[in-house]
Amino acid sequence: MIDVTKMNGMNITINSDLIETVEDTPDTVITLTTGRKIIVKESRQTIKNLVKSFKRECTFME
């Protein structure tokens, strides 16, 4: 799970396993495997780093 900020300032947590694509258009749009799209303030690279960090954290927990 990763925390991101929607454009209205609301913080939400999303399941990183459901992320299908992340695009800069110029806003960052996260598309989930469910088809839902979420526009966030974080950059594509930041989202990528958050997912990598979360995956590393999960590996240490095993």
Place of tokens 């690279």: 45
Q: What is the pLDDT of residue 22?
A: 97
CATH 1.20.140 fits 2-61, yes or no: no
Q: What is the pLDDT of residue 17?
A: 95
Q: For the chain, state the CA radius of gyration.
A: 12
Q: pLDDT by residue (tens digit) across 11-44?
A: 999 999 999 999 999 999 999 999 999 999 999 9
Place of tokens 């806003």: 27
**Residues whose CB is less than 8 angstroms from the CB of residue 6 and which lie 6 or more positions away in sequence, other chains included:** 12, 38, 39, 40, 41
Q: What is the pLDDT of residue 61?
A: 63
Q: What is the pLDDT of residue 57?
A: 86
DSSP single-letter state for residue 1: -
Joined together, the tokens standing for residue 33 give 């495997």
Q: What is the pTM of this model?
A: 0.88
Q: What is the mean pLDDT of residues 5-16?
A: 97
Joined together, the tokens standing for residue 38 give 């979420």
